[in-house]
Amino acid sequence: MEKPCRILIAEDEAVIAIDIAKTLEKLSYKVIGSCRNGREVIQKAVDLKPDLILMDVMLDGKISGIDAAEEIMNTHDIPVIYLTAYADTATLEKAKLTEPFGYILKPYDERTLHTSIEMALYKHDINKKLKERTQELKAEKEKSDLLLQNILPIQIIKELKEKGVIKPRDYECVSLLFTDFEGFTRLASNMPPGELVAELNEIFMNFDKIINKYGLEKLKTIGDSYMVGGGFPVETKEHAVNIVRAAIEMQNMIIARNNTSKHEWKMRAGVHSGNIVAGVVGKIKYSYDVWGNTVNLASKMERHSIPGKINVTAATFNLIKDEFDCEYRGAIDIPGNGKIDMYYVIADKSLNVNRKIESVPVSG
């Protein structure tokens, strides 16, 4: 059986309050209290949590019924119906500002009272459901936005929302980082699938934190390969420095992790700086991607690196040489590009570290 509506009466005339209470009981409502002044009704609204308040516009004390209703409705989800013998325009206009759920003019009749209460309860129930649905839609939107942010850069999402399309863009100079793990195929074949995924997930999650620290953009992972860009879609002159610092932290993270892990991961890293075209492909599943010779050269630098090292082209070296100690390691012939000079990043000069590595012969 449905519980009766619990009503609080705020009326400064005791005789009228008693009469209203009797009428409400006759109509099968439950009267849970009666108040004479504004401060009292505010407190009882907190203590008793009524389903509805019948509020006289004029109450005893310094706080009027209108002021009390405004405070209650600002802090509690309780519908209020005004009781008033004052039908003047000024009073009604002031009352309207609090957006009550109804008005009952005194002297009232039973039918008006009943209809006003039922309409107020119905309106309040609809409003409550709308608020709940609005919150659900807001939560769903936040989930969708978060999912979209995991796929596309925030600036690209903004463009997509504003214009409905995303135009490809040329970038004159950016930096791309590729990493992978030497011996991954052998390592993967000796590891249960669940364990392999868990290992890669932990590593890549740490990589994500590092690149976010430097304002870089994760482009994709393919197997054990991790691809990062710097200098786009938000252009910055520090893209090469930022991407190399991120690569150093990624290498250090892997080295530290190997000290406690039962599996030894050996990461290679390669960086090249140059021009690209960036854009979004796909309609159902979006993908932010880059194209151009810079992608090819960055990938080649990773392939010709060795575990624990960061291999960069001369183009990147010229952008980072004031910030990092680097070691020239020779040139390699890359089809379509001729001879490409390569350097190993040795140390970050800002850390005052003098660290050398053994020279590694370059294979074609």
Our CA angle for 146, 152, 313, nearest 5°, is: 135
- Within the chain, which residues score under 70 in pLDDT? 1, 86-99, 147-151, 163-165, 284, 352-364
Please report, for the chain, the start and end positions of each structural domain, with discontinuous segments joined by +: 6-135, 168-351
pLDDT at 363: 40
| Rounded Cα–Cα distance for residues 244 and 106 (Å) | 79
Question: Cα–Cα distance between 51 and 45 in angstroms, integer?
Answer: 9
How is domain 6-135 classified at the architecture level of CATH?
3-Layer(aba) Sandwich (3.40)
- Predicted pLDDT at 188: 86
Q: What is the pLDDT of residue 89?
A: 66
CB 183 within 8 A of CB 223: no
Domains 6-135 and 168-351 equal at CATH topology level: no
What would the pLDDT profile of 278-326 be if each residue is shown by its tens digit? 888 777 677 788 999 999 999 999 999 999 999 999 999 999 999 999 9
In eight-state DSSP terms, residue 60 is B
CATH architecture of the domain formed by 168-351: 2-Layer Sandwich (3.30)
Give the CA radius of gyration of the chain.
Answer: 35
Q: What is the pLDDT of residue 202?
A: 94
